[in-house]
Structure 1
Protein backbone atom coordinates (compact mmCIF):
# COMPACT_ATOMS: atom_id res chain seq x y z
CA UNK A 1 0.00 0.00 0.00
CA UNK A 2 1.34 3.38 -0.99
CA UNK A 3 1.76 6.06 1.66
CA UNK A 4 0.22 9.40 0.78
CA UNK A 5 1.03 12.62 2.53
CA UNK A 6 -2.06 14.65 3.29
CA UNK A 7 -1.55 18.38 3.01
CA UNK A 8 -3.72 21.34 3.90
CA UNK A 9 -6.50 22.01 1.33
CA UNK A 10 -5.64 18.84 -0.54
CA UNK A 11 -8.52 17.94 -2.93
CA UNK A 12 -10.45 20.94 -1.65
CA UNK A 13 -11.82 23.25 -4.30
CA UNK A 14 -11.31 26.97 -3.67
CA UNK A 15 -14.20 29.33 -3.01
CA UNK A 16 -15.93 30.29 -6.21
CA UNK A 17 -15.14 27.06 -8.03
CA UNK A 18 -18.80 25.99 -7.86
CA UNK A 19 -20.37 29.35 -8.60
CA UNK A 20 -18.85 32.82 -8.65
CA UNK A 21 -20.30 36.05 -7.35
CA UNK A 22 -22.01 37.87 -10.21
CA UNK A 23 -22.03 34.79 -12.43
CA UNK A 24 -25.01 34.46 -14.77
CA UNK A 25 -26.79 31.29 -13.73
CA UNK A 26 -29.55 31.21 -16.33
CA UNK A 27 -30.46 33.55 -19.17
CA UNK A 28 -33.88 35.16 -19.27
CA UNK A 29 -36.70 33.70 -21.39
CA UNK A 30 -35.62 30.10 -20.93
CA UNK A 31 -37.88 27.19 -20.10
CA UNK A 32 -36.57 25.77 -16.83
CA UNK A 33 -35.73 22.05 -16.79
CA UNK A 34 -34.35 19.67 -14.16
CA UNK A 35 -30.71 20.76 -14.44
CA UNK A 36 -31.75 24.42 -14.38
CA UNK A 37 -33.40 23.80 -11.01
CA UNK A 38 -30.11 22.43 -9.71
CA UNK A 39 -28.25 25.50 -11.01
CA UNK A 40 -30.66 27.83 -9.23
CA UNK A 41 -30.27 25.84 -6.01
CA UNK A 42 -26.47 26.03 -6.30
CA UNK A 43 -26.87 29.80 -6.43
CA UNK A 44 -28.97 29.57 -3.24
CA UNK A 45 -32.03 30.92 -4.99
CA UNK A 46 -35.26 29.64 -3.49
CA UNK A 47 -37.49 31.59 -5.89
CA UNK A 48 -37.19 33.31 -9.26
CA UNK A 49 -39.74 35.34 -11.24
CA UNK A 50 -41.24 33.32 -14.09
CA UNK A 51 -44.02 33.48 -16.65
CA UNK A 52 -46.98 31.48 -15.39
CA UNK A 53 -48.13 28.56 -17.48
CA UNK A 54 -50.53 29.76 -20.18
CA UNK A 55 -54.08 28.54 -19.74
CA UNK A 56 -55.36 26.91 -22.93
CA UNK A 57 -58.92 25.69 -23.45
CA UNK A 58 -59.80 22.93 -25.91
CA UNK A 59 -63.40 22.43 -26.99
CA UNK A 60 -64.38 19.45 -29.18
CA UNK A 61 -67.48 20.24 -31.23
CA UNK A 62 -69.74 18.06 -33.33
CA UNK A 63 -73.11 16.38 -32.89
CA UNK A 64 -71.51 13.23 -34.28
CA UNK A 65 -68.83 12.92 -31.58
CA UNK A 66 -68.84 10.36 -28.77
CA UNK A 67 -66.40 9.64 -25.95
CA UNK A 68 -63.88 6.78 -26.30
CA UNK A 69 -65.47 3.57 -25.04
CA UNK A 70 -69.05 4.51 -25.88
CA UNK A 71 -71.07 2.48 -28.36
CA UNK A 72 -70.13 3.48 -31.89
CA UNK A 73 -73.17 3.62 -34.16
CA UNK A 74 -73.76 4.76 -37.72
CA UNK A 75 -72.96 8.43 -38.23
CA UNK A 76 -70.96 8.73 -35.01
CA UNK A 77 -67.25 9.41 -34.60
CA UNK A 78 -64.98 8.89 -31.58
CA UNK A 79 -63.38 12.05 -30.18
CA UNK A 80 -59.69 11.18 -30.37
CA UNK A 81 -58.43 14.75 -30.58
CA UNK A 82 -59.15 15.82 -27.00
CA UNK A 83 -56.76 13.30 -25.45
CA UNK A 84 -54.06 14.02 -28.03
CA UNK A 85 -54.43 17.77 -27.71
CA UNK A 86 -54.31 17.70 -23.91
CA UNK A 87 -51.11 15.64 -23.88
CA UNK A 88 -49.44 17.73 -26.58
CA UNK A 89 -50.36 21.09 -25.10
CA UNK A 90 -49.14 20.01 -21.67
CA UNK A 91 -45.85 18.94 -23.28
CA UNK A 92 -45.61 22.46 -24.72
CA UNK A 93 -45.65 23.79 -21.15
CA UNK A 94 -49.24 25.03 -20.88
CA UNK A 95 -52.12 24.16 -18.58
CA UNK A 96 -55.08 22.63 -20.42
CA UNK A 97 -58.73 23.21 -19.65
CA UNK A 98 -60.48 20.42 -21.53
CA UNK A 99 -64.16 21.05 -22.20
CA UNK A 100 -66.74 18.29 -22.82
CA UNK A 101 -68.05 17.55 -26.30
CA UNK A 102 -70.45 20.24 -27.49
CA UNK A 103 -73.12 19.65 -30.12
CA UNK A 104 -73.34 21.83 -33.20
CA UNK A 105 -75.50 24.59 -31.76
CA UNK A 106 -74.53 28.25 -32.34
CA UNK A 107 -76.06 29.55 -29.09
CA UNK A 108 -74.37 26.89 -26.95
CA UNK A 109 -71.07 27.50 -28.71
CA UNK A 110 -71.31 31.24 -28.12
CA UNK A 111 -72.03 30.77 -24.40
CA UNK A 112 -69.11 28.37 -23.96
CA UNK A 113 -66.83 30.74 -25.89
CA UNK A 114 -67.58 33.43 -23.31
CA UNK A 115 -66.44 31.11 -20.52
CA UNK A 116 -63.29 30.08 -22.39
CA UNK A 117 -62.34 33.69 -23.12
CA UNK A 118 -62.87 34.63 -19.48
CA UNK A 119 -60.67 31.92 -18.01
CA UNK A 120 -57.99 31.25 -20.64
CA UNK A 121 -55.16 32.90 -22.56
CA UNK A 122 -55.67 30.85 -25.73
CA UNK A 123 -58.89 29.27 -26.98
CA UNK A 124 -58.98 26.24 -29.27
CA UNK A 125 -62.22 25.10 -30.90
CA UNK A 126 -61.94 21.70 -32.55
CA UNK A 127 -64.14 21.37 -35.62
CA UNK A 128 -66.46 23.76 -37.40
CA UNK A 129 -63.93 25.37 -39.74
CA UNK A 130 -64.78 23.72 -43.04
CA UNK A 131 -67.81 23.99 -45.34
CA UNK A 132 -70.43 21.88 -43.57
CA UNK A 133 -73.92 23.21 -42.91
CA UNK A 134 -73.31 22.91 -39.15
CA UNK A 135 -69.76 24.30 -39.10
CA UNK A 136 -70.66 27.23 -36.85
CA UNK A 137 -67.29 27.98 -35.25
CA UNK A 138 -65.90 29.94 -38.18
CA UNK A 139 -69.03 32.08 -38.45
CA UNK A 140 -68.86 32.79 -34.72
CA UNK A 141 -65.24 33.97 -34.98
CA UNK A 142 -66.11 36.42 -37.71
CA UNK A 143 -69.09 37.70 -35.72
CA UNK A 144 -67.33 38.05 -32.36
CA UNK A 145 -63.92 39.35 -33.37
CA UNK A 146 -61.41 39.95 -36.14
CA UNK A 147 -60.84 36.91 -38.35
CA UNK A 148 -57.14 37.03 -39.20
CA UNK A 149 -57.08 34.11 -41.61
CA UNK A 150 -58.95 31.02 -42.75
CA UNK A 151 -57.31 28.30 -44.85
CA UNK A 152 -53.56 27.90 -44.77
CA UNK A 153 -50.69 26.72 -46.93
CA UNK A 154 -49.96 23.76 -44.65
CA UNK A 155 -51.91 20.51 -44.74
CA UNK A 156 -53.56 18.42 -43.55
CA UNK A 157 -55.71 20.79 -41.55
CA UNK A 158 -55.72 23.58 -44.12
CA UNK A 159 -59.16 24.94 -43.04
CA UNK A 160 -57.62 26.16 -39.76
CA UNK A 161 -58.63 29.67 -38.72
CA UNK A 162 -57.25 32.29 -36.32
CA UNK A 163 -59.17 35.21 -34.85
CA UNK A 164 -58.61 37.94 -32.29
CA UNK A 165 -61.52 38.12 -29.87
CA UNK A 166 -61.33 40.47 -26.89
CA UNK A 167 -57.56 40.64 -27.35
CA UNK A 168 -57.09 36.87 -27.14
CA UNK A 169 -56.16 34.39 -29.88
CA UNK A 170 -58.90 31.95 -30.82
CA UNK A 171 -58.04 29.10 -33.18
CA UNK A 172 -60.41 26.77 -34.97
CA UNK A 173 -58.56 23.45 -35.25
CA UNK A 174 -59.82 21.09 -37.98
CA UNK A 175 -61.39 17.81 -36.92
CA UNK A 176 -59.43 15.05 -38.71
CA UNK A 177 -56.81 13.75 -36.22
CA UNK A 178 -53.73 14.17 -38.40
CA UNK A 179 -54.83 17.67 -39.35
CA UNK A 180 -55.33 18.40 -35.66
CA UNK A 181 -51.78 17.19 -34.92
CA UNK A 182 -50.39 19.38 -37.68
CA UNK A 183 -52.14 22.56 -36.52
CA UNK A 184 -51.22 21.92 -32.89
CA UNK A 185 -47.57 21.72 -33.90
CA UNK A 186 -47.06 24.50 -36.43
CA UNK A 187 -49.62 27.04 -35.18
CA UNK A 188 -50.59 26.41 -31.56
CA UNK A 189 -47.13 25.53 -30.26
CA UNK A 190 -45.40 28.79 -31.30
CA UNK A 191 -48.24 30.86 -29.79
CA UNK A 192 -47.88 29.02 -26.48
CA UNK A 193 -44.11 29.55 -26.63
CA UNK A 194 -44.67 33.27 -27.15
CA UNK A 195 -47.02 33.42 -24.16
CA UNK A 196 -44.25 31.78 -22.11
CA UNK A 197 -41.67 34.34 -23.25
CA UNK A 198 -39.79 31.83 -25.41
CA UNK A 199 -38.29 32.87 -28.73
CA UNK A 200 -38.57 29.40 -30.23
CA UNK A 201 -40.08 26.15 -28.93
CA UNK A 202 -37.65 23.28 -28.43
CA UNK A 203 -37.90 20.25 -30.70
CA UNK A 204 -36.16 16.89 -30.94
CA UNK A 205 -34.84 16.88 -34.51
CA UNK A 206 -32.65 14.21 -36.14
CA UNK A 207 -31.23 13.83 -39.64
CA UNK A 208 -32.07 10.58 -41.40
CA UNK A 209 -31.62 9.11 -44.88
CA UNK A 210 -34.68 8.50 -47.06
CA UNK A 211 -35.45 4.94 -48.11
CA UNK A 212 -37.72 5.86 -51.04
CA UNK A 213 -38.68 8.72 -53.35
CA UNK A 214 -41.28 11.21 -52.13
CA UNK A 215 -43.28 13.70 -54.20
CA UNK A 216 -44.53 16.82 -52.45
CA UNK A 217 -47.77 18.64 -53.26
CA UNK A 218 -47.35 21.93 -55.08
CA UNK A 219 -48.49 25.16 -53.48
CA UNK A 220 -48.42 24.16 -49.81
CA UNK A 221 -46.49 22.24 -47.18
CA UNK A 222 -47.74 18.80 -46.22
CA UNK A 223 -47.25 16.77 -43.05
CA UNK A 224 -46.00 13.20 -43.50
CA UNK A 225 -45.57 10.55 -40.84
CA UNK A 226 -41.94 9.51 -40.42
CA UNK A 227 -40.73 6.18 -39.05
CA UNK A 228 -37.07 6.52 -38.09
CA UNK A 229 -34.89 3.47 -37.43
CA UNK A 230 -31.28 2.31 -37.69
CA UNK A 231 -29.95 0.33 -40.64
CA UNK A 232 -27.43 -2.51 -40.30
CA UNK A 233 -24.58 0.01 -40.14
CA UNK A 234 -26.22 2.04 -37.40
CA UNK A 235 -27.17 4.94 -39.67
CA UNK A 236 -30.55 6.60 -39.19
CA UNK A 237 -32.99 5.91 -42.01
CA UNK A 238 -36.56 7.11 -42.42
CA UNK A 239 -39.69 5.88 -44.18
CA UNK A 240 -42.36 8.51 -44.85
CA UNK A 241 -46.12 7.84 -44.77
CA UNK A 242 -48.89 9.87 -46.38
CA UNK A 243 -52.08 9.61 -44.32
CA UNK A 244 -54.19 9.54 -47.48
CA UNK A 245 -52.63 6.20 -48.43
CA UNK A 246 -51.36 4.77 -45.14
CA UNK A 247 -54.28 5.93 -43.00
CA UNK A 248 -54.35 8.38 -40.10
CA UNK A 249 -53.84 5.73 -37.41
CA UNK A 250 -50.64 4.44 -39.04
CA UNK A 251 -49.29 7.98 -39.42
CA UNK A 252 -50.09 8.82 -35.80
CA UNK A 253 -48.23 5.66 -34.73
CA UNK A 254 -44.93 6.74 -36.32
CA UNK A 255 -42.13 8.10 -34.15
CA UNK A 256 -41.83 11.40 -36.02
CA UNK A 257 -42.98 13.61 -38.85
CA UNK A 258 -41.70 15.95 -41.56
CA UNK A 259 -43.13 18.82 -43.56
CA UNK A 260 -42.60 18.59 -47.29
CA UNK A 261 -41.26 21.50 -49.32
CA UNK A 262 -43.88 22.56 -51.90
CA UNK A 263 -43.12 21.06 -55.30
CA UNK A 264 -39.83 19.46 -54.19
CA UNK A 265 -39.17 15.79 -54.94
CA UNK A 266 -37.03 13.91 -52.46
CA UNK A 267 -34.82 11.15 -53.83
CA UNK A 268 -33.75 7.85 -52.28
CA UNK A 269 -30.72 8.55 -50.10
CA UNK A 270 -31.52 12.22 -49.45
CA UNK A 271 -30.85 13.42 -45.92
CA UNK A 272 -33.85 15.12 -44.31
CA UNK A 273 -34.64 16.50 -40.87
CA UNK A 274 -37.28 14.65 -38.86
CA UNK A 275 -39.07 15.98 -35.78
CA UNK A 276 -39.33 13.14 -33.26
CA UNK A 277 -42.47 12.49 -31.26
CA UNK A 278 -40.99 9.63 -29.24
CA UNK A 279 -37.66 7.78 -28.87
CA UNK A 280 -36.33 5.70 -31.75
CA UNK A 281 -37.01 2.08 -30.82
CA UNK A 282 -35.67 -0.49 -33.26
Structure 2
Protein backbone atom coordinates (compact mmCIF):
# COMPACT_ATOMS: atom_id res chain seq x y z
CA UNK A 1 0.00 0.00 0.00
CA UNK A 2 1.03 3.62 -0.36
CA UNK A 3 2.53 3.82 3.15
CA UNK A 4 4.63 0.69 2.66
CA UNK A 5 7.93 2.44 1.95
CA UNK A 6 10.35 0.10 3.78
CA UNK A 7 13.34 0.32 4.18
CA UNK A 8 12.53 4.04 4.21
CA UNK A 9 10.62 5.58 7.11
CA UNK A 10 8.42 8.65 7.46
CA UNK A 11 8.99 10.79 10.55
CA UNK A 12 5.98 13.09 10.76
CA UNK A 13 6.82 14.81 14.06
CA UNK A 14 6.70 18.57 13.69
CA UNK A 15 10.07 20.30 14.03
CA UNK A 16 9.70 24.07 14.50
CA UNK A 17 13.50 24.47 14.49
CA UNK A 18 13.94 22.94 11.03
CA UNK A 19 15.43 25.32 8.47
CA UNK A 20 15.07 24.89 4.74
CA UNK A 21 18.38 24.21 3.02
CA UNK A 22 19.41 24.75 -0.59
CA UNK A 23 19.05 21.02 -1.32
CA UNK A 24 15.80 20.56 0.62
CA UNK A 25 13.00 19.06 -1.50
CA UNK A 26 9.99 21.36 -1.77
CA UNK A 27 6.44 20.14 -2.11
CA UNK A 28 4.77 22.95 -4.03
CA UNK A 29 1.10 21.95 -3.82
CA UNK A 30 -1.87 23.99 -4.95
CA UNK A 31 -5.49 22.87 -5.41
CA UNK A 32 -4.53 19.20 -5.51
CA UNK A 33 -1.69 19.70 -7.98
CA UNK A 34 1.98 19.01 -7.23
CA UNK A 35 5.03 20.50 -8.93
CA UNK A 36 7.22 17.69 -10.32
CA UNK A 37 10.04 17.27 -12.82
CA UNK A 38 8.33 16.78 -16.19
CA UNK A 39 10.82 14.56 -18.01
CA UNK A 40 11.26 12.27 -15.01
CA UNK A 41 7.50 12.11 -14.49
CA UNK A 42 7.05 11.01 -18.11
CA UNK A 43 9.43 8.15 -17.23
CA UNK A 44 7.37 7.28 -14.12
CA UNK A 45 9.86 8.84 -11.69
CA UNK A 46 8.62 11.33 -9.11
CA UNK A 47 11.05 14.19 -8.38
CA UNK A 48 10.24 17.44 -6.57
CA UNK A 49 12.12 20.74 -6.99
CA UNK A 50 14.83 21.65 -4.55
CA UNK A 51 14.80 24.95 -2.67
CA UNK A 52 17.69 26.24 -4.78
CA UNK A 53 15.58 25.75 -7.93
CA UNK A 54 12.61 27.71 -6.56
CA UNK A 55 12.15 31.51 -6.71
CA UNK A 56 13.95 33.52 -4.07
CA UNK A 57 12.38 34.78 -0.83
CA UNK A 58 9.58 32.23 -0.51
CA UNK A 59 8.58 31.30 3.04
CA UNK A 60 8.48 27.55 3.58
CA UNK A 61 6.68 25.42 6.17
CA UNK A 62 8.32 22.28 7.55
CA UNK A 63 6.38 19.12 6.70
CA UNK A 64 8.22 15.94 7.74
CA UNK A 65 11.31 13.94 6.99
CA UNK A 66 11.83 10.66 5.20
CA UNK A 67 14.94 9.01 6.60
CA UNK A 68 17.28 12.02 6.96
CA UNK A 69 15.72 14.17 4.24
CA UNK A 70 13.51 17.05 5.42
CA UNK A 71 10.63 18.15 3.19
CA UNK A 72 9.17 21.66 3.13
CA UNK A 73 5.93 23.11 1.79
CA UNK A 74 5.07 26.07 -0.38
CA UNK A 75 1.30 25.92 -0.87
CA UNK A 76 0.73 28.73 -3.33
CA UNK A 77 0.60 28.44 -7.10
CA UNK A 78 3.67 29.84 -8.83
CA UNK A 79 3.19 32.21 -11.72
CA UNK A 80 4.04 30.55 -15.00
CA UNK A 81 7.18 32.64 -15.42
CA UNK A 82 8.41 31.60 -11.95
CA UNK A 83 8.03 27.84 -12.38
CA UNK A 84 11.52 26.28 -12.43
CA UNK A 85 12.67 25.08 -15.82
CA UNK A 86 11.75 21.45 -16.47
CA UNK A 87 8.93 21.36 -13.93
CA UNK A 88 5.13 21.39 -14.23
CA UNK A 89 2.05 20.86 -12.07
CA UNK A 90 0.36 17.45 -12.17
CA UNK A 91 -2.71 16.14 -10.33
CA UNK A 92 -1.78 14.43 -7.09
CA UNK A 93 -3.99 11.50 -8.10
CA UNK A 94 -1.93 10.97 -11.26
CA UNK A 95 1.19 10.43 -9.13
CA UNK A 96 -0.36 7.17 -7.91
CA UNK A 97 -0.22 5.55 -11.34
CA UNK A 98 1.08 1.99 -11.54
CA UNK A 99 4.84 2.02 -11.97
CA UNK A 100 5.48 5.48 -10.55
CA UNK A 101 8.20 5.74 -7.94
CA UNK A 102 10.20 5.89 -5.81
CA UNK A 103 7.56 4.67 -3.35
CA UNK A 104 8.69 7.07 -0.62
CA UNK A 105 8.20 10.06 -2.94
CA UNK A 106 4.70 8.92 -3.90
CA UNK A 107 3.83 8.67 -0.20
CA UNK A 108 5.45 12.05 0.47
CA UNK A 109 3.27 13.67 -2.20
CA UNK A 110 0.07 12.22 -0.76
CA UNK A 111 0.96 13.04 2.85
CA UNK A 112 2.13 16.50 1.84
CA UNK A 113 -1.14 17.12 0.03
CA UNK A 114 -3.07 16.30 3.23
CA UNK A 115 -1.00 18.78 5.24
CA UNK A 116 -1.13 21.38 2.48
CA UNK A 117 -4.93 21.24 2.45
CA UNK A 118 -5.02 21.70 6.22
CA UNK A 119 -2.66 24.68 6.19
CA UNK A 120 -4.66 26.23 3.34
CA UNK A 121 -7.95 25.82 5.20
CA UNK A 122 -6.63 27.02 8.57
CA UNK A 123 -5.26 30.41 7.56
CA UNK A 124 -7.95 32.25 9.52
CA UNK A 125 -9.35 31.61 12.97
CA UNK A 126 -12.67 29.78 12.91
CA UNK A 127 -13.77 31.65 16.04
CA UNK A 128 -12.86 35.29 15.43
CA UNK A 129 -11.57 35.46 11.85
CA UNK A 130 -8.06 36.69 12.70
CA UNK A 131 -5.20 35.42 10.54
CA UNK A 132 -3.59 32.41 12.22
CA UNK A 133 0.11 31.89 12.93
CA UNK A 134 2.27 28.78 13.09
CA UNK A 135 2.46 27.38 16.61
CA UNK A 136 5.96 27.67 18.04
CA UNK A 137 6.09 24.18 19.59
CA UNK A 138 3.80 21.73 17.79
CA UNK A 139 1.94 21.02 14.56
CA UNK A 140 -0.83 23.52 15.05
CA UNK A 141 -2.06 26.97 14.09
CA UNK A 142 -2.72 29.51 16.83
CA UNK A 143 -4.81 32.66 16.85
CA UNK A 144 -2.95 35.72 18.17
CA UNK A 145 -6.25 37.44 19.00
CA UNK A 146 -8.40 34.91 20.87
CA UNK A 147 -5.87 32.18 21.62
CA UNK A 148 -7.69 29.41 19.74
CA UNK A 149 -5.37 26.56 18.69
CA UNK A 150 -6.27 24.42 15.67
CA UNK A 151 -4.76 21.00 15.13
CA UNK A 152 -4.73 18.94 11.93
CA UNK A 153 -7.98 17.10 11.30
CA UNK A 154 -8.08 13.51 10.09
CA UNK A 155 -11.44 12.19 8.92
CA UNK A 156 -12.11 8.48 9.68
CA UNK A 157 -13.65 6.49 6.86
CA UNK A 158 -14.42 2.81 6.36
CA UNK A 159 -13.67 0.42 3.50
CA UNK A 160 -15.96 -2.61 3.61
CA UNK A 161 -15.49 -6.01 2.02
CA UNK A 162 -18.94 -7.61 2.20
CA UNK A 163 -18.72 -11.39 1.76
CA UNK A 164 -21.42 -13.76 0.57
CA UNK A 165 -19.80 -17.18 0.56
CA UNK A 166 -17.26 -17.11 -2.28
CA UNK A 167 -18.62 -13.81 -3.59
CA UNK A 168 -17.55 -10.27 -2.75
CA UNK A 169 -19.72 -7.15 -3.14
CA UNK A 170 -18.00 -4.90 -5.68
CA UNK A 171 -19.05 -1.40 -6.70
CA UNK A 172 -18.11 1.35 -9.10
CA UNK A 173 -18.74 5.02 -8.47
CA UNK A 174 -21.00 6.98 -10.77
CA UNK A 175 -18.36 9.68 -11.23
CA UNK A 176 -14.62 9.87 -10.71
CA UNK A 177 -12.73 6.64 -10.02
CA UNK A 178 -13.43 4.22 -12.88
CA UNK A 179 -12.31 0.90 -11.40
CA UNK A 180 -13.81 -1.69 -9.06
CA UNK A 181 -14.14 -0.58 -5.46
CA UNK A 182 -15.66 -1.65 -2.16
CA UNK A 183 -18.34 0.05 -0.11
CA UNK A 184 -16.83 3.14 1.55
CA UNK A 185 -17.94 6.13 3.57
CA UNK A 186 -17.09 8.60 6.32
CA UNK A 187 -17.94 8.15 10.00
CA UNK A 188 -20.57 10.55 11.30
CA UNK A 189 -20.40 12.39 14.63
CA UNK A 190 -21.61 10.14 17.45
CA UNK A 191 -21.18 6.98 15.39
CA UNK A 192 -18.85 4.03 15.94
CA UNK A 193 -16.92 2.73 12.94
CA UNK A 194 -18.89 -0.53 13.18
CA UNK A 195 -22.10 1.46 12.89
CA UNK A 196 -20.58 3.28 9.92
CA UNK A 197 -19.98 -0.09 8.23
CA UNK A 198 -23.61 -1.15 8.71
CA UNK A 199 -25.03 2.20 7.65
CA UNK A 200 -22.90 2.66 4.54
CA UNK A 201 -23.58 -0.86 3.25
CA UNK A 202 -27.31 -0.38 3.82
CA UNK A 203 -27.38 3.08 2.22
CA UNK A 204 -25.45 2.09 -0.88
CA UNK A 205 -26.76 -1.42 -1.51
CA UNK A 206 -29.68 -2.17 0.84
CA UNK A 207 -27.76 -5.10 2.37
CA UNK A 208 -27.68 -5.95 6.07
CA UNK A 209 -24.37 -7.26 7.44
CA UNK A 210 -23.06 -9.22 10.43
CA UNK A 211 -19.76 -10.55 11.83
CA UNK A 212 -17.91 -7.26 11.26
CA UNK A 213 -14.16 -7.80 11.62
CA UNK A 214 -11.42 -5.18 11.48
CA UNK A 215 -8.65 -5.83 8.95
CA UNK A 216 -6.19 -2.94 8.58
CA UNK A 217 -5.91 0.86 8.36
CA UNK A 218 -4.31 3.21 5.85
CA UNK A 219 -3.47 6.94 5.85
CA UNK A 220 -5.01 8.39 2.71
CA UNK A 221 -3.96 11.97 2.16
CA UNK A 222 -5.74 12.10 -1.20
CA UNK A 223 -9.05 12.53 0.65
CA UNK A 224 -7.52 13.77 3.93
CA UNK A 225 -8.77 10.74 5.81
CA UNK A 226 -7.74 7.59 7.65
CA UNK A 227 -9.18 4.48 6.03
CA UNK A 228 -10.28 1.63 8.30
CA UNK A 229 -10.76 -1.67 6.50
CA UNK A 230 -13.38 -4.22 7.57
CA UNK A 231 -14.67 -7.53 6.30
CA UNK A 232 -18.20 -8.62 7.12
CA UNK A 233 -20.85 -11.06 5.93
CA UNK A 234 -24.26 -10.59 4.39
CA UNK A 235 -27.04 -11.01 6.95
CA UNK A 236 -30.11 -12.60 5.37
CA UNK A 237 -31.39 -11.43 1.99
CA UNK A 238 -28.57 -10.75 -0.49
CA UNK A 239 -30.71 -8.80 -2.97
CA UNK A 240 -28.90 -5.57 -3.92
CA UNK A 241 -30.83 -2.29 -3.98
CA UNK A 242 -28.24 0.10 -5.39
CA UNK A 243 -27.97 3.81 -4.60
CA UNK A 244 -28.09 5.05 -8.20
CA UNK A 245 -27.04 8.58 -7.27
CA UNK A 246 -23.66 7.43 -5.92
CA UNK A 247 -23.03 4.15 -7.74
CA UNK A 248 -23.31 2.96 -11.32
CA UNK A 249 -22.47 -0.64 -10.47
CA UNK A 250 -22.97 -2.96 -7.49
CA UNK A 251 -22.73 -6.72 -7.88
CA UNK A 252 -21.78 -9.96 -6.16
CA UNK A 253 -18.62 -11.23 -7.88
CA UNK A 254 -16.97 -14.66 -7.59
CA UNK A 255 -13.41 -14.74 -6.22
CA UNK A 256 -11.81 -15.81 -9.48
CA UNK A 257 -13.71 -13.17 -11.48
CA UNK A 258 -12.61 -10.16 -9.43
CA UNK A 259 -10.79 -7.55 -11.54
CA UNK A 260 -8.32 -5.58 -9.40
CA UNK A 261 -7.42 -1.91 -9.60
CA UNK A 262 -4.20 -0.87 -11.36
CA UNK A 263 -1.35 -0.35 -8.91
CA UNK A 264 -0.85 -1.55 -5.35
CA UNK A 265 -1.37 1.70 -3.45
CA UNK A 266 -4.84 1.32 -1.94
CA UNK A 267 -6.28 -0.58 1.00
CA UNK A 268 -9.31 -1.29 -1.18
CA UNK A 269 -7.22 -3.11 -3.76
CA UNK A 270 -5.35 -5.11 -1.11
CA UNK A 271 -8.63 -6.25 0.44
CA UNK A 272 -10.03 -7.28 -2.95
CA UNK A 273 -6.82 -9.13 -3.77
CA UNK A 274 -6.79 -11.00 -0.46
CA UNK A 275 -10.36 -12.16 -1.01
CA UNK A 276 -9.58 -13.14 -4.59
CA UNK A 277 -6.69 -15.27 -3.32
CA UNK A 278 -8.72 -16.72 -0.43
CA UNK A 279 -6.62 -14.98 2.25
CA UNK A 280 -9.18 -12.62 3.79
CA UNK A 281 -9.58 -12.66 7.57
Task: Give the TM interval when normalised to the shorter protein.
Answer: under 0.3
Relative to the length of structure 1, the TM-score reads 0.26
Structure with bigger strand share is 2
Relative to the length of structure 2, the TM-score reads 0.26
Based on CA coordinates, which of the two structures has the bigger radius of gyration?
1
